[in-house]
Amino acid sequence: MDTKKLRVGIIGAGGIAVNAHLPNYEKCLEKIQLTAIADVAKEKAIAAAEMFHIDSAYDNYEEMLKNEELDAVSICTPNKFHAPAAIAALEAGCHVLCEKPPAITVDEAEAMTAAAEKAGRILTYGFHFRHTQQVAALKRYIDADELGDIYAAQVTAVRRRGIPGWGVFTNKELQGGGPLIDIGVHMLDSALYLMGYPKPETVLAASYQKLGNKKGVGVMGDWDWENFSIEDMARGMILFENGASLTIETAFAANVEKLDVMDVSLMGEKGGADLFPLQIYQEKHGTLVNTTPAYLPKTNEHELEITRFVDACLTGSIPLSTPEQGLYLQQIIHAIYTSAERGEAVKISEL
Ligand SMILES: NC(=O)c1ccc[n+]([C@@H]2O[C@H](COP(=O)([O-])OP(=O)(O)OC[C@H]3O[C@@H](n4cnc5c(N)ncnc54)[C@H](O)[C@@H]3O)[C@@H](O)[C@H]2O)c1
């Protein structure tokens, strides 16, 4: 055993663990040791352990945390288990990279934040879009005040028929919701990050279940339409304490032209921007100009997320995504679902 290397464990051996976390931890083997993996389906833990040369496989993460003296853990379970697994790992003295969304409820996100503070360990979330070159480049423009005060944003995460045909993404009990909490949360986080995470105040939203509960064309495979318990569309408007506003549109299925749109539009006093693809809109010298990058480095955002997490664990640097931001995000998600359910605007402070 090399005690100088960060001992890394994985909780949940499904899609995101095998396709994003493990291959990128493998690129850090000079700094880490892939020590153990746990999945309630032990055969999945064993298969991943074989594929990535991980020393031990468990069917119970608590046992893994007790036995393995881990330094860092990735949490890659369905959303329902994020909070209990993250809190257990933090209490066991581990730094935690938890997949998005932070959790299902605000109480859970609060408990995770408190556990990280108490343990003095890193808690960060898998918002990998933050690590894209588009977000990084636009952040540099915003930091140089090229957009001025950003007072309006539009967030889009809309698929035409992209209801996942695998996993538990259509199960409200295990995921907490549908496109809003699964894909909308990525674009919402990117927008809020670029806006400086303003404090949300009031939310008005609506959600629908119109297409997912019927048999239909599945661009992402055949989904379980008979047990479809989530919204297939959620839309909302958020007002912030600083006067800014943000509209959000999310769908796994909607009758729209494009198969898949993920984008953030920002509008500021000095300029505006779209994120995917990156374009900046300004008025300069009496001319309306658009700026598009001629070149952006090709990087892998999942790799950057993992390598930055590893470096943060080893150096104490602060990761891009913080527990406090995760909590704000969870409050907004909760407020959107609550407003949609009540059919009226809600104040975050009153929830
Ligand atoms: N960053 C991204 O773009 C991205 C993409 C996909 C998924 N995710 C997130 O990753 C998480 C997992 O998604 P996935 O696509 O890998 O799902 P998945 O269904 O493929 O894998 C989840 C795994 O967790 C295991 N599991 C369930 N309960 C467990 C428990 N209590 N302890 C240990 N293991 C348990 C399951 O057996 C399964 O193998 C979700 O929170 C999802 O939102 C993020």
pLDDT digits 0-9 by tens, 124-182? 999 999 999 999 999 999 999 999 999 999 999 999 999 999 999 999 999 999 999 99
Residue nearest to atom 6 of ligand 1 (CA): 16
User: At which of 98, 125, 152 does a domain end?
Assistant: 125
Q: How many angstroms separate the alpha carbon of residue 208 from the centre of ligand 1?
A: 25
Residue 194, domain member (yes or no): yes
pLDDT digits (tens, 9 = 90+) for 59-116: 999 999 999 999 999 999 999 999 999 999 999 999 999 999 999 999 999 999 999 9
Please indicate, yes or no, whether the overall pTM of this predicted structure exceeds 0.95. Answer: yes
pLDDT band at 3 (very low <50, low <70, confident <90, very high): low
Residues 70 and 217 in one domain: no
pLDDT at 243: 98
From the CA of 79, give the closest atom in ligand 1: 41
Residue 325, domain member (yes or no): no
Residues 85 and 171 in one domain: no
The per-residue pLDDT of the chain, averaged, comes to 97
Question: What's the average model confidence in pLDDT over 46-53?
Answer: 98
pLDDT digits (tens, 9 = 90+) for 335-349: 999 999 999 999 999
Name the pairing type of β-strands 123-125 and 95-98.
parallel
pLDDT band at 4 (very low <50, low <70, confident <90, very high): confident
Q: How far apart are CA 204 and CA 338, in angstroms?
A: 9
Question: What's the average model confidence in pLDDT over 331-338?
Answer: 98
Residue 148, domain member (yes or no): yes
Residues 67 and 177 in one domain: no
From the CA of 164, give the closest atom in ligand 1: 15
- Rg of the chain's alpha carbons, rounded to an integer? 20
User: At which of 69, 99, 125 does a domain end?
Assistant: 125
Residue 268, domain member (yes or no): yes
Kindly tell me if the per-residue pLDDT of 2 is higher than 50.
no
Residue 312, domain member (yes or no): no
Residue 176 has which token pair?
């907490």
Q: How many angstroms separate the alpha carbon of residue 18 from the centre of ligand 1?
A: 10
Query: Residue 157's domain spans which residues?
Result: 130-302+330-350
Residue 1, domain member (yes or no): no
User: At which of 110, 125, 140 does a domain end?
Assistant: 125
Residue 287 has which token pair?
């001319």
Total number of domains in the chain: 2
Nearest to 43 by CA among 14, 85, 22: 14
Nearest to 224 by CA among 235, 233, 213: 213
| Helix/strand/coil for 306 | helix
Angle, alpha carbons 30-36-37 (nearest 5°): 120
pLDDT digits (tens, 9 = 90+) for 221-260: 999 999 999 999 999 999 999 999 999 999 999 999 999 9
Residue 93, domain member (yes or no): yes
Residues 10 and 143 in one domain: no
From the CA of 100, give the closest atom in ligand 1: 43
CA 242 vs. chain centroid, Å, equals 24
Q: Return the axis-axis angle of helices 106-119 and 323-342, rounded to nearest 10°.
A: 170
Among 39, 171, 250, the mutation site with the greatest number of ligand 1 atoms within 8 A of its Cβ is 39
Q: How far apart are CA 36 and CA 133, in angstroms?
A: 32
Cβ < 6 A, ligand 1 pocket: 11-17, 38-41, 44, 61, 76-79, 81, 99-100, 126, 128, 167-168, 182
Kindly tell me if the per-residue pLDDT of 211 is higher than 80.
yes
From the CA of 182, give the closest atom in ligand 1: 43
